[in-house]
Amino acid sequence: MSDNTTSPAVAPAAETPAGKPSRRWPAVLIGLCLVAGVAAGLGWFMQKPKAPPVELASDKLGMSRPDGLLETHSLSQLPKDLLAVPFLKETLTEDFVFYYEAHADRLGLIGSLRRIIYEHDLKLQDSLIEQLFDQPADVALWRGADGRLKDFLLVMDRGGLAKVLEPLAKVALDDTQLTQVGTVKVGADDVALYQLTYNASRALLFASHGDKLVVLSNPAKLYDAESGVSEESGAVSTKSIAALLRGDKLFPEAFGLPPRAPEVKQRLSVNSSVLAMGYQRFIPNFAGLRFDMDDKGWHSFLAMDELENQPDFDFKPIWQAMPMGASACVALPLAAEQQKPLLIKLGAEEQVAQALTEHMAGAAGLCWYADSRLYTPLLVASLNDSDSAKLDGDLGKLFGSMVGAYEGNVEEHAFPVVEKQQGETRQWLRQVSSNFGPYKAKDAENPDAITGKAFMKVSLARHGSTLLFSLDDKLVDKALGTLDKRFPPMADVVPKDLLMPVYFGPDSMAQLMQQETLDSLPQDMEPVFYNAAQTYLMPKLRKLGGYGKYALTLPEGSEPDGHWQWLPLEWKAL
């Protein structure tokens, strides 16, 4: 990636106070995580929940809310259980299982434990570690600074291993890798807290009491609740460690879950804080995703939160406007109140922000297409009246203030906004220099004015009561053709009478991912990674492309009623 790349922005085309150009980078989203794009395209969908969530027991005990939760009957069986899904088995293969079994951290930890057992002549079987991993466990996960799930807190039922593990505590007095670092109070007992160092610089904390074993992957996240409260992500107090050792279930309530039923072998829950990539406040209906496995296979669920003035769950207008042939789509209901301060902060005049928030209604949808790019999806939203032409002046002002990038070779430091009108359609376009753009600089009307080697044509359009936006003007043009009945809509291929928030087209998605992968790995600059992608990734993408299209549907009449309402998602082959 070039240092002088200028990125298109849905932000004011202005300079910083220091006189340097303001830069924004387009978001790159994929899979179900693409939900975040709805918020990135339209910032006016934020709304407060109907009632504030109750304070959780984990909050009271000094534990920050987890971003992910894994509840399993056996940690060691999880990778193999994931491969029970035919779609994943074809695309991941057995390499997925071998990767986790041979991961450097896992091997380093096992090696350290085996050294301790051997050097201290502990009478423990070599299969001890495998037995440990084969126990029921709950694993809470938190995001790291890069947004990925990183730190974890594991609570394991030791069962018959409780007595077997006791000799490990005796070696903590004179071992270089295993040391006692403190105690936690569990009832009347003082329970030792140990730190195990492995792989030179890695460490974890653990404590055991009765039939419970608690492991914290990042010792720096532990703090004494008596000395204050930590707001840091992944922070865990000594009080919460003690509660977990007593057998308290602190994790499920953070995801609105009942206790895991015996027939559910695996339960994976992910908070929208992970999937929305920081944009959750703009899509407040969406709370999280969950996947359960029982004897009948895997089942999917979508968690929703209720809002005041809850809009109807009607996505049909979205699919009528979206052009056919999408790689993936997601649709969400909109909440259009209390957005004026946000729009003003993004550069809108007060009256413009007021007018727009009053006219937004219904739902919004986002679709990705193989003939475009991963970072240039098409956004479709609805306005609440057919006489939307009176908004055109405000929309033009909003587009001009929020879309653009600093252009050093242009007199006004931004290319002009081009406005088009044909019948009931009004369209606004602005050229933006970007090395990620689909148009080469040499093809521009004035190539010398382009900063970098490529550019985009960002487009906003209103067609009646439908609003369209994309960083790729060709997608907006195709959507206008769809609304004018010149191109078939997604509505022709999706279920007619079902509530469909997510669509997935594996064949088109495989094409999109192949294009993005090869584009990011020029053969002359990255020959090793290019060859690796051709050898290992492309065959997987071809297998992915062999699957049919799917619609993820919700039960008829679905509507959130409270916090963390889990609704079943049904995968329907099209």
What's the pLDDT tens digit per position in 151-209?
888 888 866 555 555 566 566 556 566 788 888 999 898 988 888 787 667 788 888 88
Band of pLDDT at residue 324, cut at 50, 70 and 90: very high
HSE-CB at 475 with a 13 A cutoff on CA atoms is 31
* C-alpha–C-alpha distance, residues 198 and 216, integer Å: 14
Tokens 């195709």 belong to 478
Mean pLDDT along residues 124-147? 71
Half-sphere exposure of 343 (CA within 13 A, CB side): 26
Q: CB within 8 A of 517, min separation 6: which ones?
A: 533, 537
Pairing of strands 454-463, 439-440: antiparallel
Confidence of residue 267 (pLDDT cuts 50, 70, 90): very high
Range scoring the smallest mean pLDDT among 88-92, 269-273, 288-292, 359-363: 88-92
Report how far residue 142's alpha carbon sits from residue 271's, in angstroms, rounded to the nearest whole number: 10
Query: What are the C-alpha distances in Å from 265 to residues 57, 71, 96?
Result: 25, 8, 19
Mean pLDDT lowest among 33-42, 300-309, 511-520: 33-42
Residue 245 is given by DSSP the state H
The band of 6, judged by pLDDT with boundaries at 50, 70 and 90, is very low
Q: Largest Cα–Cα distance of the chain, in whole Å?
A: 86
Q: Which helix (H) or strand (E) holds 287?
A: strand 286-294
Q: Is it the case that residue 278 has pLDDT exceeding 70?
A: no
- Please give the single-letter amino acid code of residue 461: A
Q: Is the pLDDT higher at 525 or at 254?
A: 254
Q: How far is CA 294 from the centre of its chain?
A: 25
pLDDT reported for residue 81: 83
In the predicted model, what is the mean pLDDT of the chain?
Answer: 76
- What is the per-residue pLDDT for 427? 95
Are the CB atoms for 348 and 395 separated by under 8 Å? no
Angle at 13 between CA 11 and CA 19, to 5 degrees: 120
CA distances from 51 to 7, 54, 106, 563 (A): 39, 9, 43, 8
Amino acid at position 455, single letter: F
According to the model, what pLDDT value does residue 83 have?
A: 72
Greatest mean pLDDT among 11-20, 35-44, 523-532: 523-532
Interatomic CA distance for residues 545 and 574, integer angstroms = 14
Distance separating alpha carbons of residues 156 and 143, to the nearest angstrom:
21
Identify the three-state secondary structure at position 462.
Answer: strand
Q: What is the DSSP string of 470-487?
A: ESBHHHHHHHHHHHTTSS
| pLDDT over 90 at 491, yes or no | yes
Q: Is 574 helix (H, G, I), strand (E, B) or coil?
A: coil
Rounded Cα gap, residues 206 and 181, in angstroms: 10
Select the more confidently predicted residue: 21 or 368: 368
User: pLDDT value at position 225?
Assistant: 66
pLDDT band at 515 (very low <50, low <70, confident <90, very high): confident
| The pLDDT value given to residue 292 | 94
Q: Which of 372, 365, 429, 369 is nearest to 395 (CA)?
A: 429
| Enclosing H/E stretch for 459 | strand 454-463
Residue in the block written with tokens 């105690």: 183
What does the domain layout of the chain look like in residue ranges? 34-49+309-391+398-403+460-573, 57-249
More confident residue, 290 or 351: 290
Which one is predicted more confidently, 298 or 17?
A: 298
Given a contact cutoff of 8 angstroms between Cβ atoms, the answer to whether 428 and 441 are in contact is no
Q: What average pLDDT does the segment 245-249 reach?
A: 90
The set of residues, in sequence order, having a beta carbon less than 8 Å from that of 334 and lying 6+ positions away, is 42, 45, 311, 360, 361, 362, 363, 364, 381, 382
Most confident of the following: 51-65, 332-346, 481-495: 481-495
What is the Cα–Cα distance from 483 to 490, expressed in whole angstroms?
11
**pLDDT at residue number 505:** 92
CA neighbor of 445 nearest in space, from 460, 457, 428: 457
Least confident of 42-51, 349-358, 514-523: 42-51
Q: Average the pLDDT over 356-360 and give the result.
A: 77
The stretches of 249-315 forming alpha helices (DSSP H) are: 272-275
Task: Say if residue 2's pLDDT is above 50.
Answer: no
Instruction: Please tell me the distance from the alpha carbon of residue 68 to that of residue 51, in angstroms, as a whole number.
Output: 23
Of 26-40, 212-226, 406-420, minimum mean pLDDT range: 26-40
For residue 186, the SS3 value is strand
What pLDDT does residue 503 have? 93
Query: Percent of the chain at pLDDT above 70?
Result: 72
pLDDT (average), residues 494-507: 89
Least confident of 122-136, 151-165, 421-435: 122-136
Token pair recorded at residue 260: 């895991």
- 565 near 558, Cβ under 8 Å? no
Higher-scoring residue by pLDDT: 335, 398: 398
Q: What does the pLDDT read at residue 338?
A: 55
**What pTM was estimated for this model as a whole?**
0.72
Those residues whose C-beta lies under 8 Å from the C-beta of residue 432, and which sit 6 or more positions away, are 6, 8, 9, 403, 404, 405, 415, 455, 456, 457, 458
Contact 287, 69 (CB under 8 A): no
Report which of residues 488 and 226 the model is more confident about: 488
Please state, in angstroms and rounded to a whole number, the distance separating the CA atoms of residues 341 and 323. 33
**105 pLDDT higher than 60:** no
- Both tokens of 529, joined, read 């990674």
Q: What angle do CA 71, 74, 80 make, to 5 degrees?
A: 100
Which pLDDT score is estimated for 461?
Answer: 95
